[in-house]
Amino acid sequence: MTKPINFASLAERIGVAFHDISILRAACTHRSYLNENKGAGLEHNERLEFLGDAVLELVVTTFLYRKYPDKAEGALTAYRSAIVNTVSLTKVAESISLGDFMLLSRGEAKDTGRARAVIVANAVEAVIGAIYLDQGYNAAANFISSHILEVIDIDVIVEQKSWIDAKSRFQERAQEKLGTTPTYKTLKETGPDHGKQFTLGVFLRDVQVATGSGMSKQEAEQQAAEKALEIKGW
């Protein structure tokens, strides 16, 4: 049986009057919920997430293109990555209490860690996809503008160079201070194929400096690099 959730209340929170509220429900339905509720007749949100990611990228790219007319493609790509990431999307999810409307398996519903943050961040992209399909590009762009672009101080990101990812920063520091390049090794893989969790270690020469975990190896590497920067005081 479908968990009783008032998706009209979520629509009100995000300021969108959906023609078809079922598309918003689909945006909030995680694959794990369907694994436990096979007869629910629902669609999980991964296709909407795929669509919403493309819409989000287009809106943010257009914004940056206009805001920084003198910046090269490489810099704009880096800025976009700093704006559109799991951290910022998780904050969007928190601002609209998206977690309260998610349809999850019992196991996923109990998780409050990094894996849960990734789920709700992905659901934000699915919601964007749902808005786009139901209301069109302008409505999706307005949501992105009000919940991301108007909230993040992009000039500070550019000024502080926080758009440079942790893995790149750690490599620069290691080469500068020790004359060596960090290496990353997979230490553990857990979970099913559709929800694997990777644990990687970052090494300087043969010494393990830190570990990181994530839903992808790239995410785990970034977390390991962030911890390594802190441990080394770089």
Measured distance CA(80)–CA(94) in Å, rounded: 21
Pairing label, strands 197-204, 207-214: antiparallel
Q: CA 56, CA 86: separation in Å to the nearest integer?
A: 13
- Structure token pair of residue 182: 């960090």
Active-site residues: which are they? 53, 125
